Amino acid sequence: MKGSVRTVVFPIAGLGTRFLPATKAITKEMLPVVDRPLIEYAVQEARSAGVERFVFVVSTQNDLVTKHFSAQPDLEKVLEQNGKFNELKSLQASTLDPESILYVIQDKPLGLGHAVLCARDVIDEEFFAVLLPDDLVLWDKPCLQQMVELHNKIESSILAVEQIDNENISSYGVINPNESSGNVYKVDGVVEKPKFEDAPSNLAAIGRYVLSKQIFSHLAKLNAGYGGEIQLTDAINSIASQQPVHALKFKGTRYDCGSKAGYIAANIAYARQDPTLMAKVEDILESD
């Protein structure tokens, strides 16, 4: 798929404290769902949307991510010699051209807005994507591809949103929708982590964005907001006052792999998609 969004930013500088002690030795985005780490699902989703440049915002040089996306010729040779062609195909599919990868350091944990701002100097295009690997979306057409297809029609910033239960509203950035057409909403603004009674809707932004590069000038002017962090939603509000911002109620099931329950649910759901595991998973679940 070819489109106008060529670069994606992956903010992966977080400490992953909710998964300690597992994340003492590996970073959160390297936690596996079935047989692939979260970051590989994210990269494959971006590829499906036509993305060609991959910007990883990290706290230090991330050797695990670098190694994962590098070619492994010795391992490939062993797999080929042993006739393990399915495994060889999967390994090769996880390789990225080193020229397509950029690393940007986020030296202070100042929030998602600050992480995006750190990528300012490497974004040349008018629009770029931001993808949080914590959120997995299971559907035949990947979530970011749905967003880019919409963007190519209306040429605006796009937020991915889903309907959230009332008791969980205060954990999300909630959009203030204006006019709508099907599953697309004009966004007047976003309220970060509102109380239920203050929420402008029950549609919450999840970890997928297509953003105008104008977002950087707004982020650079922000002081710390909610939680003492530079909030991406504050900059989106500034953008929305000057140019159109839309939200897409995407198709698919989202799994919040930043939580233990969501991570377990994702492993079950993705294992059920694997023909070699489907029956075994069902047997395990039924036996319990």
Give the tokens for residue 230: 């530079």
What pLDDT, on the 0 to 100 scale, is given for residue 286?
87
According to DSSP H, which parts of 49-174 are helical? 63-68, 73-81, 85-93, 112-117, 143-154
Decide: 255 and 269 in contact? Cβ < 8 Å.
Answer: yes
Q: What are phi and psi of 42, to 5 degrees?
A: -65, -45
Whole-number pLDDT of residue 4: 80
Domain spans of the chain?
A: 7-258
What pLDDT shows up at residue 45? 97
Which residue intervals of the chain are DSSP H helices? 38-48, 63-68, 73-81, 85-93, 112-117, 143-154, 215-221, 232-240, 260-272, 278-287
The closest of 217, 203, 199 to 113, measured between CA atoms, is 217
- pLDDT of amino acid 2: 45
Q: How far apart are CA 193 and CA 174, in angstroms?
A: 7
Task: Name the amino acid, one letter, at 165.
Answer: D
The answer to whether 269 and 253 are in contact (CB under 8 A) is yes
Q: Which two tokens stand for residue 243?
A: 């140019």
Distance (Å, whole) CA 191 – CA 172: 8
The residue type found at 80 is: E
pLDDT tens across the length of the chain (288 residues): 445 899 999 999 887 889 889 888 888 999 999 999 999 999 999 999 999 999 999 987 668 888 899 989 999 999 999 999 988 998 998 899 999 999 999 988 888 999 999 999 999 899 999 999 999 999 999 999 999 999 999 999 999 999 999 888 988 999 999 888 889 999 999 988 888 888 999 999 999 999 999 999 999 998 776 667 888 999 999 999 888 999 999 999 999 999 999 999 999 999 999 999 989 998 888 886
7-258 CATH, one of 3.40.50.720, 2.40.37.10, 1.10.240.10, 3.90.550.10: 3.90.550.10
